[in-house]
Structure 1
Amino acid sequence: MVVTTKAIVLSTLKYGESDLIAHCFTETDGRKSYLLKRVLKSKRGALKPSQFIPLTQLEIVANHKNKGTLEYIKEAKVYSPYQSLHTNVVKSSLVMFLSEILKDTIQEEEKNSPLFQFLTASFNWLDSGDSYANFHILFLLKLTQYLGFYPDTSEGVSTYFNIMDGRLQNTYANQYCEEGAHVLIFQQFFGIKFEALSQINITKIERLEVLNLLMRYYQIHLQGFKKPKSLEILNQLFQ
């Protein structure tokens, strides 16, 4: 079936000498994997490697057989061009990190409009934003809403974050209850928008502790989740 849809490139993998496999999150059909034949060598082809840089927003015409095999893209054009996301050194490191996260967390081949809209809005904000040192923390927190394990904050500001039960609480229940300054800092990110990130002033060490807390939380709630390889590079960039 030929489908015209918007799509976000999650990652690509070189296949052979001239082909690419592109993993994309489409607006109409969820995650799809495409075989891009001879895209690395053909200068006159309809598809270009530059169109498939991670997190690029495309409009594609694709053939979806929906049989769990690699699909094919007939046409592609950049739908929402970025101004700085792939050229700013720090932002491009964030792109690498987020690409790894999304490649491992988005698996369903089904339509999810709220998640798609969240991703496009988030990347557009990051592209134009100038206060993004804490962007990945808020992004990971907000992403849990769409993955099904957003923390329970009904007790308000709390002493402990129970990463197993996914809730903030004031009583110690088990070994999964984490406490400390990083838990209190983490709670500053609840209920805010990206525009408010400039109001959160934390040190590099504090940011790293909060991020590691989120990584442990993801590992518990997503089977097979591993810390992204780009995490170390990302942590070295932010001061």
Structure 2
Amino acid sequence: MTYKTKGIVLRIVKYGETSLIVTIFTELFGVQSYMVNGVRSSSRKNAKGNYFLPGAILDLVVYHNEQKSLHRIKEFQWAYLYQHAFSDVIKNCIVLYMVELLTKSLKQPEQNADLFNFCEDVLKELDETNKITTANMPLFFTLHLTHFLGFKMIDNYSNDNVFLDLQEGCFEPMPPTHNNYIDGEKAHITSQLLKILQPFELEQIKLNKETRRELLSQYQSYYALHISDFGQMKTLTVLHEVL
């Protein structure tokens, strides 16, 4: 049976001489794997493999069977055609970071339309936005993605609650007995970022590159504490360089 759904490409693996196995976060079925035949032709007229780049947002017609782990795609086309996100080095690095974070976080093939819409909106905003917002986008995405993953960070920061406990996911009045916490200015910045509702508001938050690097590293620790086998982010090192 065929279904129409949007999808965000997460991962591609070459198969044979002309085919791909593509992991896609779909709006309708969550994360699914698809065999796509004949898209790796050397002919420019048949360069359909260009549709399946990490972060691409596609309109799909797919065959789906709950009993199978590998499905097929009947039709595909752009749902949104990037103007900058694939060609701009910094934006493309952020796209790859977002895709890796999603891949590591989504363990089960469950539908989550709200999460899909959030990811789609952030990718589109990234494509069109200015330099300051672009630089802050990884922080925004990393923090707000937790809202959909079951370990939302609580913004109860105040003059009294100034220590962000990464194990508990909330601000406390005293430093915890372990070392997994954020304090000082970085705790305050995290609270500001949690209050941001739309990506374009990120332009209000002025940060230097070192602060961004340290915060991203600490947010990765938060994920590792709440997702088993999270491991290390390969794209984080590259992102640190370009930001």
Counterpart of 2:145 in structure 1 is: 143
* Matched position secondary structure for 1:4: strand
User: How many angstroms does 1:29 deviate by?
Assistant: 0.9
- Cα RMSD (Å) of the superposition? 1.9
Counterpart of 2:7 in structure 1 is: 7
User: How many angstroms does 1:47 deviate by?
Assistant: 8.1
Equivalent of 1:190, from 191, 194, 200?
A: 194
Q: How far apart are the structure 2 equivalents of 1:205 and 1:47?
A: 40
Equivalent of 1:231, from 229, 232, 236?
A: 236
Q: C-alpha deviations, 1:4-60, integer Å up to 9, x for none?
A: 111111121222332211111111111111011232137599881111111111111
**Gapped runs of 5+ residues in structure 2?**
none
Q: How far apart are the structure 2 equivalents of 1:11 and 1:160?
A: 37
Q: How far apart are the structure 2 equivalents of 1:178 and 1:119?
A: 26
Q: Does 1:178 align with 2:177?
A: no
* Aligned CA distance change for structure 1 residues 40 and 173 (closer, same or farther; 3 Å): same
* Matched position secondary structure for 1:134: helix
Counterpart of 1:113 in structure 2 is: 113
Q: C-alpha deviations, 1:140-165, integer Å up to 9, x for none?
A: 11100001111122353632111111
Q: C-alpha deviations, 1:178-202, integer Å up to 9, x for none?
A: 3233222222201112111111111
The range that moved more, 89-98 or 175-184, is 175-184
Q: Does 1:206 align with 2:193?
A: no
Q: How far apart are the structure 1 equivalents of 2:2 and 2:154?
A: 42
* Matched position secondary structure for 1:216: helix
Q: Please tell me the residue identity of whatever aligns with 2:147.
A: Q
Counterpart of 1:17 in structure 2 is: 17
Q: Please tell me the residue identity of whatever aligns with 1:214.
A: Y
* Aligned CA distance change for structure 1 residues 144 and 55 (closer, same or farther; 3 Å): same
* Matched position secondary structure for 1:109: coil
Equivalent of 2:171, from 165, 168, 171?
A: 168
Q: How far apart are the structure 1 equivalents of 2:135 and 2:150?
A: 26
Q: Please tell me the residue identity of whatever aligns with 2:187.
A: V
User: How many angstroms does 1:81 deviate by?
Assistant: 1.1
Q: How far apart are the structure 1 equivalents of 2:28 and 2:234?
A: 30
* Aligned CA distance change for structure 1 residues 13 and 177 (closer, same or farther; 3 Å): same
Q: Please tell me the residue identity of whatever aligns with 1:169.
A: E
Q: Please tell me the residue identity of whatever aligns with 2:89.
A: V
Aligned residues: 238
* Aligned CA distance change for structure 1 residues 187 and 63 (closer, same or farther; 3 Å): same
The range that moved more, 152-161 or 51-60, is 152-161
Counterpart of 1:96 in structure 2 is: 96
Q: How far apart are the structure 2 equivalents of 1:64 and 1:45?
A: 29
